[in-house]
Structure 1
Amino acid sequence: METIKAPTAQQETSLSDILQPFLKRWYFFALGLVLALIASFFYLRYSTPSYLTRATVIIKNDQGSSPAEELFAVSGLGGLLTKYQGSKIENEIAIFKSKRIIKNAIEALELNISYQNLGIIRDSEMYDYRPFQVRYLAFNDSLVGVPALEFSIIDSSQYSLHNLATGTKETYTFGNPVNLDFGEITLIPNLEDEIRFNSFSGKSIRVLYRDPDVMARSYQARLNVVNEISSSNVVVLSMESSVRQKTEDFLDELIFQYNKDAINDQNQIAQKTSDFIDKRLQIISRELDSVETGKQQFKSTNRLTNIEAQAQMALENASEFEKRQFNVNTQLELANTMIDYMESSTENDLLPSNLGIQGGDIGQSVENYNNLILQRNRLLKSSTSKNPVVVNLNNQISNIRQNILSSLQNTTESLKISLRDLNYQESVLNSRLSKVPSQEKAYRGIERQQGIKEQLYLFLLQQREQASISLAVTASKAKVVDRAASSFGPVRPQKSLVYGAAALAGLLLPFLIIYGRSLLYNKIDSRKDIERALPNVNILGEIPKLRKDEPQLVKMNDRSMLAESFRILRTNLQYTLQKKGMEQNNSIFVTSTIKGEGKTFVAFNLALTVALTGKKVVLVGADIRNPQLHRYLTPEHKHDKGLTEFIVDPSLTIDELASKSTENDNLDIILSGVIPPNPAELLMEPRTEQFFDTLKQKYDYVVVDTAPSMLVTDTILINKYADVLLYVFRAGYTDKRLMQFVKDSMAEDRLKRIYPVLNNVTMGNFGYGSKYGYSYTQETKKRKWF
């Protein structure tokens, strides 16, 4: 018994073994690559190119960094300064991407109405030039959605309308209202270029109306707004689209709508301040008129003409004091007015600015307070009050408002103290002026009140003019650095990327198919599969796969691949017998694991090939359960007696059983005979050994076609009479798992002297140059390229 050895290094899987299944099917990769490139060509030919449009703006920081630092320092919120500055650009980006601003831009340009020029393969959007404009005058609230409409120009005055929803087609006149199921429309022709207008005559143009809210969400998802340089206020707006001019117009309009919204917010402060000043002017005007009337009555009653001259010297000494008293009273009046306004207003109201209150940073605080109110209101238009940024702004607004009120109260208390001190000094001065007539003192008090009211009135007039100027010359918030401009070439699809991906897919798909097949395919394909499973057993031959129109038997002077493969098998068999010292032994058994692997085919052709050398050969059918050898005999010999009759009937001889083959005179055939009820017990009879001994003496070679080894025990029972056991495997048919049966049979000594023969091998799977050797012996033929 031959021992089973471990696989050597040469028998282990090498890189060439791994690549072999892919290399021999190279045409699949070539075909996949060609098909993928063709598919990518048509994809690029008929796909809609997409272009990248960019615009760059700078967000102006009107507040400035230094006043902000002072504001946070005064309010005690210095820790929030960095966070506030860092989130400001993000806030502006959020406003740029807000649905409200985007919807305003879409409605301004009517981008929710698209015009498509219908083509044979694909439709193209019309934007630069439209032969007519569809105006949607009214919509029915009961209907949901507006159907697509197809228009065809008949002439400069008429057109046809095809309602795709109802399937109706009517003719209408340009400019006349048309009532449809969803509402009312009208068409305005574009006759500025009549030649271009007439070129669309007879062509179908589809018009689609989409809900502006839906379009705003679509544009919102496609719009990209980023602060590329984190340390700057530069914001880049970008968007991809198939129509470059349309996207450029949208980005420019979006910037305009953003500036318009920011200007409206800034005008709210100026308008609020102007309204506050107007109200105060009305009050001061009435008070000033009352003081002047009292002055006139006082002079008339006391018959005073030039009372100032009488107290000229005293007034010169008190002029400096009166200026200080006037300033204190003015500041106190403004502070009290501001406190009253703040106590009567809410945190949602803007505060009047630039009132001229001195002391502290009240004016700057009011300006920053108003800016925060506007920022919060702008964010609330596109988000909720629970937004972390809004909550942060609310906290800042509350703290700054409290700080402003506290500062005003502190300023009021300080002014009151100053006023009390001035009043005390006034009493001292009045004592010095005791010699001045009482009318002079009363008159001076009236003039003092008049001066205060006049100065306050003039001051408010000046502030109203400043507010009016601010309202008229409000600057835009976003400065355009680069207007919207599109890329020269399309950014999608990229030809190199598409062709590269297609080439990769064209190569990867065959690879995956072949690799997946190798994982799922569990059949023997080549001699290497047998060598891996049976490393210490020599394969004697490979039989090629035949087409249906090719001969199945070896003929005299045959130069076919089939004949050459059996000649190689015959030579290897003879060499093996000589090497083993068994050249006098001539019993060759042919078996397989299961039915259908071609053992009868191999046995018959091997017998024919050996007979062609002039040796006397007998072919025995020992598969007594499912005999197949009779198919190679003429009809008159198909029912001859065979092996089973010889074992049962002692009177029968070999000569009575042997039939001469019509294929070769040196070949005799003995059939298996009648199928017995007990095949295994029959083969164990002594006549079986006598049968094979007689054949060895009578013939040079005995070729025996046996039963499948794994299915029945017949071959194992008669294996002891074999000098060589040719074990047939069929490529593409024999399961690799069946190799374990052969290994177990050899290890347990149930089958001896096994030599594999691989049947039905394709040209690509021949080993050791067989496919080249066979082609050498064939006649020269013109071969097709594929």
Structure 2
Amino acid sequence: MISNNNPENITDNSTFVNPPKSSFNFRDEILKYVKKWYWFLLSVIVFGTLAYLHVRYTIPQYNVSGTILISQEESVSESELSAFKDLGLLDDSKNKIENEIQIIKSRTLLTNVVNNLKLNVQYFTKGRVVESENYPKSLIEINFLSADSIVHTKSKDFRVLINSQTSFSFVDKEGQKLSDHSFGKTINTSIGDVVITPNVDGIESNKGKVIHIKITPVNIVAQSYRNKLSVITIGKGSSIVKLSLNDPVKEKAKDIINDLVEEYNKSTIENKKLTSARTAGFINERLDLISGDLSEVDDEAAGYKSKFGLTNDVSAQTQRVADIDSRNLQEINRYETQLRKIESTRRFVLSQDGKYDILPSTLGFDDPSITSTVARYNGLISQRKRLLKSSSEQNPVVVNIDEQIGSLRQGLIASLNGAKNSINISLNSLRTQDKYFSGQLYNAPLRQKELTAIGREQGIKEQLYLYLLQKREEAEITSHITLSNARVIDKASTLGSYPVSPNKKMIYFGAIFFGFALPFLIIYLLDLFNTKVNSREDLERSLSMPILGAIPKTKSKKSKIVVSRNSRSSIAEAFRILRTNLGFLMAGTNKKTGKVIFVTSTISGEGKTLVSSNLAKTLAISGKKVAYLGTDFRDPKFHNFFELQKGKDTPGFTNFIMNLDIKPEDVVYEQGENDPLFVIPSGVIPPNPAELLMNDRVKEMFEYLGDNYDYIVVDTAPVSLVTDTLLIGHFADLSIYIVRENYSDKRILQVPENFYREKRLPNMAVLLNAAGDKVGYGYGYGYGAKD
């Protein structure tokens, strides 16, 4: 059925409108994959088979795990100065658990585990499919006589065939005997002397079995288990550590984890003991050194105090000197006061003006003799003054008193002079002492400073000495009470009876997934990178012109003309439908005869000649008189479709144009007795095809054919390569544009679309050629039956 979304091409009730263009059609996308269902089935079968083989021949792996608690307090003793952690010398950070995990996974500990469990020597027994390891006990055991340092670096394989209870043979991979030996005898090998002994009592019952002994270097085995071992903390900030290991042998994995924990504890204990010993030695060395330094400081302090007469309490001693000096100053002041009093009294006594005056009695002399003399002197002066009131100075009594007064005056002066001398002596002594004490007080801060520095150094040495004594005692206690870092919470055990690898569910699920994904991806990529026209839907999405239909792909190689009156093949029916659709598209043509149908395409090879020749034959079968004209002067193919007298060189259209003596009927050849078709071949290939098509003789030919034939089917040249078709396009009543499925590029569909929109060819319609089975002509009513 024809479709057309252009209103200009609607001619009657049988209008043909293209479906609305859509960038995505879900149904079409699904059908694109459903049509390739066998791809998916084959892919799922292949991946399923690969998955089965993988599961069948892969050695299962079991997960074994255990948990331990790592003591964070004890872990700090890893340092050789753990006894001094209170000094801030150690990094007691939160990374200690991560550090312990790295110690657990260290190559050293795993090497010890490999040596303890002899994991570098493996024993295998051949099963139906793969070899299985015998652990912890095998039928035989190999013993090495060479040093471990040699054996542990060697790699070797032995295959031991048990012959009897006393003998065995070495065999190769194919089972061929290499040498015979006896159990318990020394055998010289490339890795040194070895002795193989039976490991079970009933070795005779295992006669004929082959034991594969595999010896691997210890460091390689240790590194292998180090890579497989997982050590993680359970919970953020937790000290609980989980150790897990995947291995084909559950018992071996359990032993590895348990022995690793033991090795870790042993290592931490030995490290702590070594740390304690090193700490004690360090402390003793420091004690000896500091003890000597402390003795030197003590001697220096004693010598300094002895030199300057200092006591232990310098401050108190300085205070006492200050008190003495203060009292001494008070005595000096008192003596100076007495001295001034004596001097004042002496001058008064020696003065003539105050010769008979009373001396002051309140001077407070310290010498009692002076005080008594002053008192007697004042008494005589008073008595004289009383007598003079009633008598004269010549009075004998007055004269006698004057004599006594003179005598006392001389004695008082002598006493004052003596007291003055005594006070001066005492005052000089006190002043000398004052200078001494002042010097002592002046130098006291310097002595105090120097003595304080000595005392400070002495205190530091003493404190350090006592501190080291305390730490030595702590180190001694630690060396005798040493606990391991790890406490086992759960011993190593399997999580279940099923292996963790291979995961059958995930493998089969993955096989199904990839079984569907791979064909899907291939189909998607093929479709993504496929630029060819694949279906009628591609034409509907890209073109707005009417679609005449589709011609199925022909498989016939015998005859190019596939249409006959009695043919019921799918391609014959397709051409009959095409003939019917032509009537709809040419319904608006006023011509009764001479209707011209152009058949063209974008490029060569899209099937113009095949379609045009069979279309002409189909019209001829319907009883119409049809002329088939070839205008492809550059690459004609008429001789491949019709039996012409001279084949490719048969005179035709070009001969008519170039030779004026040739009439149109001279180049018309009748083909077939029944339903004849009148053919005008292209003729000889000219050097100037375009110029020939512009000749007036071309119009003469079309007029002749229009007058004598009902239909003129014209096989033209490709429009994108040459301009030939466009030069004669105005003669056409209908232009059929051929697009070949899986041959024409989608990108060149823009060419016919432009031609249609620009009306460069009249009444254009597109025809899909060489369409696949999806066209739909092979069903019902006998269509598609073989002729």
**TM superposition score normalised by structure 1:** 0.68
Please say if residues 568 and 784 of structure 2, whose CA atoms lie closer than 8 Å, have aligned partners that are also in contact: no
Equivalent-residue separation in structure 2 for 1:35 and 1:406 (angstroms): 88
- Residue of structure 2 equivalent to 1:742: 752
- Give the aligned residue type for 1:620: L
Question: Is 1:539 aligned to 2:555, yes or no?
Answer: no
- Residue of structure 2 equivalent to 1:525: 534
Please say if residues 32 and 509 of structure 1, whose CA atoms lie closer than 8 Å, have aligned partners that are also in contact: yes
* 1:436-467 Cα shifts (integer Å, max 9, x gaps): xxxxxxxxxxxxxxxxxxxxxxxx9xx99x97
- Residue of structure 1 equivalent to 2:47: 36
Please say if residues 6 and 545 of structure 2, whose CA atoms lie closer than 8 Å, have aligned partners that are also in contact: no
* 1:185-241 Cα shifts (integer Å, max 9, x gaps): 22121123x1xx345433333222122122212211111111213444322111111
Match of 1:682 among 692, 698, 701: 692
Equivalent-residue separation in structure 1 for 2:124 and 2:212 (angstroms): 5
Deviates more, 1:684-693 or 1:544-553: 544-553
Q: SS where residue 239 of structure 1 aligns?
A: strand
Report matched runs for 1:643-722 at 5 Å.
643-662=653-672, 664-722=674-732
- Residue of structure 1 equivalent to 2:629: 620
Shift, 1:635, TM fit = 5.5
Q: SS where residue 712 of structure 1 aligns?
A: coil
Shift, 1:406, TM fit = 9.1
Question: Is 1:778 aligned to 2:786, yes or no?
Answer: no
Q: SS where residue 692 of structure 1 aligns?
A: helix
Deviates more, 1:123-132 or 1:261-270: 261-270
* 1:716-753 Cα shifts (integer Å, max 9, x gaps): 22222111111111111112232233344445554333
**TM superposition score normalised by structure 2:** 0.68
- Residue of structure 2 equivalent to 1:228: 234
Alpha-carbon spacing, 1:590–1:549, altered in 2? closer, same or farther (3 Å): closer
- Give the aligned residue type for 1:547: K
Match of 1:160 among 163, 169, 174: 169
Match of 2:121 among 113, 125, 150: 113
Q: SS where residue 769 of structure 2 aligns?
A: strand
Match of 1:339 among 275, 282, 287: 287
- Give the aligned residue type for 1:247: A
Match of 1:593 among 602, 615, 622: 602
Alpha-carbon spacing, 1:43–1:413, altered in 2? closer, same or farther (3 Å): closer
Q: SS where residue 10 of structure 1 aligns?
A: coil
- Residue of structure 2 equivalent to 1:725: 735
Shift, 1:761, TM fit = 0.9
Q: SS where residue 86 of structure 1 aligns?
A: coil
Deviates more, 1:717-726 or 1:574-583: 574-583
Please say if residues 144 and 151 of structure 2, whose CA atoms lie closer than 8 Å, have aligned partners that are also in contact: no
* 1:62-112 Cα shifts (integer Å, max 9, x gaps): 6599xxxxx9999464xx99x726233223222211111111111000111
Match of 2:767 among 752, 757, 762: 757
- Residue of structure 2 equivalent to 1:205: 211
Question: Is 1:254 aligned to 2:257, yes or no?
Answer: no
Q: SS where residue 20 of structure 2 aligns?
A: helix
- Residue of structure 1 equivalent to 2:511: 502
Please say if residues 607 and 617 of structure 1, whose CA atoms lie closer than 8 Å, have aligned partners that are also in contact: yes
* 1:587-640 Cα shifts (integer Å, max 9, x gaps): 011112222111111011111211222111121222222221222323647454
Please say if residues 152 and 204 of structure 1, whose CA atoms lie closer than 8 Å, have aligned partners that are also in contact: yes
Equivalent-residue separation in structure 1 for 2:188 and 2:574 (angstroms): 87
Alpha-carbon spacing, 1:711–1:273, altered in 2? closer, same or farther (3 Å): closer
Question: Is 1:409 aligned to 2:415, yes or no?
Answer: no
Shift, 1:699, TM fit = 0.9
- Give the aligned residue type for 1:631: N
* 1:339-375 Cα shifts (integer Å, max 9, x gaps): 338889xxxxxxxxxxxxxxxxxxxxxxxxxxxxxxx
Count of paired positions: 596
Shift, 1:704, TM fit = 1.2
Please say if residues 561 and 778 of structure 1, whose CA atoms lie closer than 8 Å, have aligned partners that are also in contact: no
Equivalent-residue separation in structure 1 for 2:589 and 2:42 (angstroms): 50
* 1:295-354 Cα shifts (integer Å, max 9, x gaps): xxxxxxxxxxxxxxxxxxxxxxxxxxxxxxxxxxxxxxxx9998338889xxxxxxxxxx
Alpha-carbon spacing, 1:220–1:91, altered in 2? closer, same or farther (3 Å): same
Please say if residues 593 and 709 of structure 2, whose CA atoms lie closer than 8 Å, have aligned partners that are also in contact: no
Report matched runs for 1:297-696 at 5 Å.
339-340=287-288, 409-410=462-463, 471=480, 475-488=483-496, 489-534=498-543, 536-548=544-556, 552=560, 553-579=562-588, 586-634=595-643, 636=645, 638=647, 640-662=650-672, 664-696=674-706
Equivalent-residue separation in structure 2 for 1:8 and 1:742 (angstroms): 16
Q: SS where residue 225 of structure 1 aligns?
A: strand
Shift, 1:27, TM fit = 2.6
Alpha-carbon spacing, 1:529–1:272, altered in 2? closer, same or farther (3 Å): closer
Shift, 1:570, TM fit = 1.2
Please say if residues 623 and 675 of structure 2, whose CA atoms lie closer than 8 Å, have aligned partners that are also in contact: no
Equivalent-residue separation in structure 1 for 2:746 and 2:636 (angstroms): 26
Alpha-carbon spacing, 1:126–1:529, altered in 2? closer, same or farther (3 Å): same
Equivalent-residue separation in structure 1 for 2:557 and 2:244 (angstroms): 68
Please say if residues 637 and 659 of structure 1, whose CA atoms lie closer than 8 Å, have aligned partners that are also in contact: no
Equivalent-residue separation in structure 1 for 2:606 and 2:482 (angstroms): 95
**Structure 1 residues not aligned, in runs of 5+:** 66-70, 277-334, 345-404, 416-459
Match of 1:241 among 243, 247, 250: 247
Please say if residues 575 and 615 of structure 2, whose CA atoms lie closer than 8 Å, have aligned partners that are also in contact: yes
Equivalent-residue separation in structure 2 for 1:64 and 1:406 (angstroms): 34
Match of 2:102 among 84, 94, 101: 94
Equivalent-residue separation in structure 1 for 2:531 and 2:274 (angstroms): 82
Please say if residues 105 and 226 of structure 2, whose CA atoms lie closer than 8 Å, have aligned partners that are also in contact: yes
Shift, 1:34, TM fit = 2.5
- Residue of structure 1 equivalent to 2:193: 184
Match of 1:14 among 24, 32, 41: 24
Q: SS where residue 546 of structure 1 aligns?
A: coil
Shift, 1:581, TM fit = 5.9
Equivalent-residue separation in structure 1 for 2:681 and 2:159 (angstroms): 85
Equivalent-residue separation in structure 2 for 1:716 and 1:510 (angstroms): 45
Please say if residues 3 and 747 of structure 1, whose CA atoms lie closer than 8 Å, have aligned partners that are also in contact: no
Please say if residues 143 and 182 of structure 1, whose CA atoms lie closer than 8 Å, have aligned partners that are also in contact: no
Equivalent-residue separation in structure 2 for 1:31 and 1:582 (angstroms): 58
Equivalent-residue separation in structure 2 for 1:61 and 1:530 (angstroms): 77
Shift, 1:55, TM fit = 0.8
Equivalent-residue separation in structure 1 for 2:702 and 2:639 (angstroms): 20
Equivalent-residue separation in structure 1 for 2:491 and 2:152 (angstroms): 40
Deviates more, 1:218-227 or 1:706-715: 706-715
Alpha-carbon spacing, 1:538–1:271, altered in 2? closer, same or farther (3 Å): same
Shift, 1:546, TM fit = 2.4
